[in-house]
Structure 1
Amino acid sequence: MNVFRIHPAPVMGAVILGLAAGLGSAPAVAQQQQQWFVPQQGQAPAQQQRPPAQRPAAQPARPAATQQPTAVIGIVDIPEVQRVSTAFNQVREEIERRRNRLNEDLQREQTNWREAQQQLATQRAQLSADQIRARERELQERITDSQRIFRNRSQHIEVAAQQALVQIEESLANIVRQVAQARSVNMVLPRPLVIMNDPAFDLTEEVAQQFNRATRQVQIPPENDGSSPPTMPGAAAPAAPPAAPAARPATPPAQPPRR
């Protein structure tokens, strides 16, 4: 084992600086250490310098939670508003009148069909087979046309009722919104969905009064004779059927090869 003697001044100076920087102890402790340094083969250094600890990355600040508004609930009985509404009763009475008239016309036309069939049955013995077929075809075409007209009339009545009710619903929605804003209400529920409520939450009477003052009547489309089916406003027209492909010229049959 080889022993090397070195001057103590450089070594002691480094130890003193290390302790002073790391621990902050007095230099007298370092002076008492041995001045001989014996290197050994394969021996790891006594102490390794640790890397400085990394500070955690700063987390982004979370946005402050928005405070939800306090629910102020109002109750409206829509069927009760409709029951006392002048405009709604006007539409209901007019639609019922048109339906009753349609039923009366349909019953009258069905009576005419039965009379025509009975008349044809009594005259069958006096008519030829061609005449009977022609009369039956005329009666069937009359019934088909009448059924189409009555179907169109019924559809026109339903479309008129729907258009009138849309006007009532839009006007009623505006009145409910105005009453709710006047009472600082931010949520309105229909009465059938509420099991129990305090009378102070009920807006039905005020809504009905304002609705009657604002909407006395609505525009109902006039009756239609049923010559054409109804079309809803804004509905796209039915697409035209595709054109039939052009007929190809007939190709002559292939002739057998001549020998």
Structure 2
Amino acid sequence: MADKRLTIVKEKYKIADLKILMTTYHKETMKRAIPYRSDEQWDENEADGVIDLGQEFYEKTYEKFREYGNYTTIEYMYTGALFNRILLKYDGCMLHSSAIVVDGYAYLFSADSGTGKSTHTELWLKHFGDRAYIINDDKPALRCIEGQWYVYGTPWSGKHDISKNIQVKLGGIVFLERSEENWINEISPKEAFALFFRQTVRKLKTEEKMDLALKNVENVLVSNPIYRMGCNISDEAVVTAYEKIRRI
């Protein structure tokens, strides 16, 4: 039976340098969002975006999509999707990926669920020690500000809730696949487009939002190095990737 106990919390947040007014109805989403509460004073009408789907929405969605499991999972999925739609208006988008920072640059490793992107970034943590940390382990935000692409942590941070509420320059994006041998190649924006679009929020209700999504995806792909990598679970995989993609 689904857990639908309510913990309704309306708060002001700062996510990806955007003022977000979000109401959460289930405790887990609220807990994940605590590090993103805004320290600034601003009126609600100054919000860059509002996230409040309402309990009735969650009731109807649960009845329609019981396979999602429970209300907490539904809220996590739909609030994240709504934040992505807000982000589109501010030269950004989210990417289903594990984002690791080494020496001041964030590198995103993206793949279908179960491929091993989090396992790969864990190997980076072991290899680099204090030089590395995870900024977000599920859905980091990407934004272009004055021509520079940045990566941000978000409350939508995977089953282990690993995220940091900070901004880091984007170093590159790697699309992973399993392989017995380790290899990595830079790919063109055209080749990368389908891989990227598959791992971002695609259910957009208006033509305007779809146009924004396409524009932002194209922008990030033409402005940054994009790679395709086959890897196994070894330290050699880390070395192979880093030697190819490092920015310094």
| TM-score normalised by the chain length of structure 2 | 0.19
Q: Which has the higher contact order (CA 8 A, sep 6+)?
A: 1
| TM-score normalised by the chain length of structure 1 | 0.19
Structure showing the higher strand proportion among its residues: 2
Q: Which one has the largest radius of gyration?
A: 1
